Chain A
Amino acid sequence: MRQNLFIFTGILLLALPQFLFAQSRTVAVLTPFLAQPGTQLMVEGFEAAAKSKGWQVDVIDTSGDVAALVSRMEDVALQKVDAMVINVDPSQIRNGLLAAKDAGIPVFGMDSGADPLLTANVTSNGYVMAAETATYVVDQLNGKGNVVMFIFEPYPPVQKRGAIAESIFNNEPDIKIMEKITPSFDRGPLEGARNAMEAVLTANPKKGSIQSVWAAWDDPALGAEQAIRDAGRENEGIVIVGIDATEQARDRIAARGNLKATVAQDFTGIANTVANTVEQYLKSGSVSRSQIYVSAKLVTADDL
């Protein structure tokens, strides 16, 4: 009798941890970009959200090495985690996505890109971000003036922004796009944009000949602002806008110079939405949408 009791207690003790942790889920977060501030915010946000849901999170960063990321996805797939969350262009990690698919593990994009092999991708809407800053320019100019655009066609997410801003400006009869510039990357886009803006200022020496600079991301906006300051034309009321809300851009906007606005992606919001989407999938086996957008926010001096 006593012996049976011992055995029973032993079994109970052995089974207890499994019972307690039966609900615990493991999610692997994989990215080559953990050094990027935006990625850091998202990963931290996801870890916090996952903790509140009682999940275990393994963060794997391959320091810029996409091939290593594919290898790590294969390793994680063998470990039978409950889900993977990636922050990388899915078109470059097809083999990793296929390894996950073979193992029956769902993969979620955290501001990555759309891909049929992803269960869902959560991101900001590039079209909307560009529309926010372009309409801001139109409003500040009261629908009238000359705009210099800094664009970048080779990179699809940035190309989108340029296309939408251009159609908004073209839809305003009194707004003229005077230049569309792709800044040189030789010494970084900031320097490239500054040089290009210097040339535009030299070619248009008359005060009031330029009303606004619209940039598809913050670096060229910062470069253009430096060129305008160096040329001593910072008091002409030229309105500059960028996108991404980098630390440097926020500083310049807070200084109330020519750089007036940028757009901040809601990285924590994206992370929370990813966590909720993973949860929804783990509970029901499906997601309501495969591409989910989280609103981005216009940032002006009043917000800083």
Chain B
Amino acid sequence: MSGSLQLAPLLRRYGTFLGFLLIVSFFWSQRPDTFMTTRNWLNITQQVSILCVISFTMTLVMVGGDFDLSVGSMASLSGMIAAVLWQQDVSLFGALGTALLVGAFGGVFNGVLVAYAGLSAFVATLGTLTIFSGLALLVSNGKTIFGRAIPEIVGDFSRGGFPLAEEIQLPNLTLIGILVLILMGIVLQHTVFGRNLHAVGGNREASMLAGVPVARLRLIAFAVNGVGAAIAGLMLVSRLSSANPTQGDGLMLNAIASVFVGMTMSEEGEPNLFGTLTGVLILGVLSNGLTQLRIDTYVQQILTGLIIIAAVLFSRLSLRRR
């Protein structure tokens, strides 16, 4: 009896992670030669790295009790701005810096609308989603920028990496994902800002009464998320060696889905980085494994959606039972 009591919270906490391990074991058993190889896992980490960055900074916003629909179009916009600047012979770092600044500015704009003007995060970021997406189309005239306009080093960056062994390297994009994970981990767990942000997300009124600068914290979280989206946009340009005014748009839903899946891995249902990472990996491993199993791509989409719902439902039910 006492054994089952101890097992229940563990299952609640790590049920989703267990699900992830089950998915991995299933693909491993089905594709023993190709799935559980270093090469494939490095591929997977590279494939999810862009989503990782955007989801980790999204976790920050969601810890504060908000969310941001504009990240995908911000990724498109910042990538497009860098590409347009390169096309006009602006230096490599000049363009990268400008793109990151645009991300920060867009994030601050979101933050002002939500934290100071009092708009709901849904409405405000839905509005800025449309604005950023229009701006991306405007600066690019709707066209894709590719070829010589993108500096060679940008495309080469995503093909390069930190050598691990002969012919095996930790991809640069994966490295960026890990760096952002560590950085966000430090910010959320080991700074006053992070602890206060958790308080804001937990109970906004109480935090305000306790003297926590609620509006400022929410604004900063949005600003960081804007920069995260810009980094993701630039990573996308590197991976595709081209910039397209809509190429980041799909990131938003997956980022929010990853954070939601991750929330099932906390006792109180709070967003947390380890959970988000698990969420991202579930999405990445499903795409990779189902492709290797030659499952129809439309069926893949349905399965992915069902698994997200199942994860959240499972955690909801186990919370209710508590």
Contacts and interface: CB of A to CB of B under 8 A. Distances in A.
Interface residues of A, number: 30
Given A60-B297, A67-B236, A95-B239, A78 B143 contact: no
B169 interface: no
Contact of B241 (A75, A92, A185): A92
Nearest to B250: A65
Interface of B: 34, 37, 39-40, 43, 46-47, 50, 141-144, 146-147, 155, 158-159, 236, 239-242, 244, 246-247, 250, 287-288, 291-292, 294, 296-298, 301
A240 B142 CA distance: 26
A155 interface: yes
A72 B287 contact: yes
A61 B43 contact: no
A74 B292 contact: no
A91 B146 contact: yes
B144 A75 contact: no
6 contacts: A70-B239, A78-B43, A78-B292, A79-B34, A95-B240, A95-B241
A71 B51 CA distance: 13
A156 to B, nearest CB: 9
Contacts of B291: 60, 72, 75-76
A154 B144 CA distance: 9
A80 B142 CA distance: 37
A215 B141 CA distance: 20
Contacts of A64: 246, 250
Interface in A46-101: 58-68, 70-72, 74-76, 78-80, 89, 91-95, 98
Contacts of A59: 296-297
B50 A92 contact: no
Chain B: interface secondary structure?
Answer: helix
Contact of B240 (A74, A79, A93): A93
A91 B159 contact: no
Nearest to A182: B141
A155 B287 CA distance: 32
A288 to B, nearest CB: 27
Contacts of B297: 59-63
A92 B34 contact: no
Given A76-B291, A91-B242, A92-B240, A71 B47 contact: yes
Contacts of B246: 64
B292 A98 contact: no
Contacts of B236: 67
Contact of A71 (B155, B241, B287): B287
B158 A95 contact: yes
Contacts of A80: 34
Contacts of A79: 34, 292
Given A75-B43, A75-B291, A92-B144, A61 B240 contact: no
A150 B155 CA distance: 35
Given A92-B240, A92-B242, A67 B287 contact: no
A189 to B, nearest CB: 11
B244 A154 contact: no
A91 B241 contact: yes
Nearest to A77: B43
A174 to B, nearest CB: 35
B146 A92 contact: yes
Given A74-B43, A78-B40, A154-B142, A94 B247 contact: no
Contacts of B37: 78
Q: Please name the 6 residue pairs, one residue from A and one from B, whose CB atoms are nearest each other, closest first.
A: A71-B47, A75-B291, A154-B143, A91-B146, A92-B242, A94-B241
Nearest to B31: A79
Given A58-B294, A61-B297, A61-B298, A67 B50 contact: yes
B250 to A, nearest CB: 5
B39 A78 contact: yes
